[in-house]
Structure 1
């Protein structure tokens, strides 16, 4: 037993921050300041995407976690996932479905900035709701903001600086970083599922449906809102992908990092989601 605990702590304390760092660094390597300025060029598309990502998604996540018969920990896990920004994978998928890749990158970048502040609020609210008022588990606002900023914004900034001053190096590194981050993410998911292996089948049955529903409902809503707002097809595709794909690694980190929630069970929805998402 001690060995398993030791391994899982090693996974969450060492591999998880490392994986997130690499994923975020990779994201930064492809970012320029223009990606942030796009808000001024395509304000409508960016605002529609952000409303879907930052307001609708947590509300739908909260609703689904309430409707489905989940244990309190898993219910909170679902809302943690819904509170997270778009994942870097969304940019790649936007490219594959011929979406507006620039918009996708901008939405991922800006939602990553904003969720640094919204995650602790959403997560604390959902913990009070699902785990009862008396729950001792709370994410201290400032400490959490700083921690999430450190694990997301710092590597993104390093990547951006490299991209700006060493573009050729950045382009070379970016390719290997993508594979490395996938490898680490796979390791973490396998580690989490191994640790909870006794419960995995029941978790899959419980959470699989919720995360799949979250995914489908949000993509339909994203597409619907984008279309109603009169955005073109590529923008609509990007918004659909963006709200459909969350940063599962960040959700796993918030749930299981010893200095944040330290509740690996809460990371299960994000781990299962990260597997389902590719389908």
Structure 2
């Protein structure tokens, strides 16, 4: 049974990403991309933090902690992926600027066709075997087929079947979460998620990275004079990343083979899944924290 999962791991990763992006697309219209024109400063700062500050921060973490192997590669993948749809939901609950959150998610998702392979190539190369060549074209093609195309399909579904788009999006996201659960179960059953082999110290490193990303936006927001709602949106966008895409990249770079153990690939997988769990916890705490603050006046006006 678990041999079947190992044989089909790539497609499990692809399907969960397709469902997640179709669900996200069914919540987006072209108006959501106009945030660049409406709030150019906040959007530009958000994009700069996502595409420059986050990769550089993670590079600094890797170098400072002297990380090697699967944890370093897992961190590099986290640096290369954009924010996910869950960040938009958390932003809404946290009373952040939801329009800004959606704009940054949408734009970084489109941009990752070019940025993800480049960031990966920059960060991963030192930790891979000497004969490894980064498959930049393959990764870009996979992002196009499994991320951008489903996103477009979801947007078309919203345009054509607007009355059913919310239900469609809900079930797509539920389906994606279900497939991720299958990935965890399949990986556990195949012996690919070994807590003892991963080690407590690596768990601490992943937890530390989560804290660093949570705290990254706050000082930058103050320095750049971001409003509280804008800072909240970017804070959650940076923290809650598209682990869905990370799982596909992992499956593409480190394909599972029946009867063969890949310690590097297994550690990368564990790192991504563990960060996924930590980021949801961090997002929930940030929602609780921000909801305890006075409600922004713009939010009150929008609600009346």
Q: Do the aligned residues in 2 keep the contact of 1:30 with 1:174 (CA within 8 Å)?
A: yes
Task: State how far apart, in whole Å, the 1-side matches of 2:216 and 2:10 are.
Answer: 36
Shift in CA distance, 59/191, structure 1 to aligned 2, threshold 3 Å:
farther
Q: Do the aligned residues in 2 keep the contact of 1:26 with 1:159 (CA within 8 Å)?
A: yes
Shift in CA distance, 105/198, structure 1 to aligned 2, threshold 3 Å:
closer
Matched residue SS, 2:170: helix
TM superposition score normalised by structure 1: 0.90
Task: State how far apart, in whole Å, the 2-side matches of 1:252 and 1:205 are.
Answer: 22
* Residue 63 of structure 1: aligned partner: 60
Matched residue SS, 1:176: helix
Task: State how far apart, in whole Å, the 1-side matches of 2:199 and 2:82 are.
Answer: 23
Task: State how far apart, in whole Å, the 2-side matches of 1:55 and 1:204 are.
Answer: 30
* Residue 77 of structure 1: aligned partner: 74
* Residue 221 of structure 2: aligned partner: 226
Shift in CA distance, 5/110, structure 1 to aligned 2, threshold 3 Å:
same
Task: State how far apart, in whole Å, the 2-side matches of 1:16 and 1:117 are.
Answer: 20
Q: Do the aligned residues in 2 keep the contact of 1:192 with 1:268 (CA within 8 Å)?
A: no
**Unaligned ranges ≥5, structure 2:** 256-264, 282-304
Task: State how far apart, in whole Å, the 1-side matches of 2:21 and 2:193 are.
Answer: 32
* Residue 272 of structure 1: aligned partner: 274
- Tell me how far 1:226 sits from its aligned partner: 2.1
2:14 to 9, 12, 17: 17
Task: State how far apart, in whole Å, the 2-side matches of 1:208 and 1:190 are.
Answer: 19
Q: Does 1:44 align with 2:41?
A: yes
Per-residue displacement from partner, 1:142-193 (whole Å, max 9, x unpaired)? 2221111111100000011111121112122122222222222222233334
Q: Do the aligned residues in 2 keep the contact of 1:98 with 1:234 (CA within 8 Å)?
A: yes
Q: Do the aligned residues in 1 keep the contact of 2:187 with 2:193 (CA within 8 Å)?
A: no
1:91 to 88, 93, 96: 88
Shift in CA distance, 199/232, structure 1 to aligned 2, threshold 3 Å:
same
1:178 to 173, 181, 185: 173
- Tell me how far 1:225 sits from its aligned partner: 1.6
Q: Do the aligned residues in 2 keep the contact of 1:256 with 1:266 (CA within 8 Å)?
A: no
- Tell me how far 1:56 sits from its aligned partner: 1.1
- Tell me how far 1:137 sits from its aligned partner: 2.4
Per-residue displacement from partner, 1:55-109 (whole Å, max 9, x unpaired)? 1111122222233354412211111111100011101111111111111111111
Matched residue SS, 1:139: coil
Q: Does 1:31 align with 2:33?
A: no
- Tell me how far 1:266 sits from its aligned partner: 2.1
Question: What is the CA RMSD across the aligned residues, in angstroms?
Answer: 1.9
Per-residue displacement from partner, 1:223-261 (whole Å, max 9, x unpaired)? 22223222211111010000001111211110123xx44
Task: State how far apart, in whole Å, the 1-side matches of 2:28 and 2:274 are.
Answer: 29
Deviates more, 1:145-154 or 1:67-76: 67-76
Q: Computing the radius of gyration over CA atoms, which structure comes out larger, 1 or 2?
A: 2
**Unaligned ranges ≥5, structure 1:** none
Q: Do the aligned residues in 1 keep the contact of 2:240 with 2:280 (CA within 8 Å)?
A: no
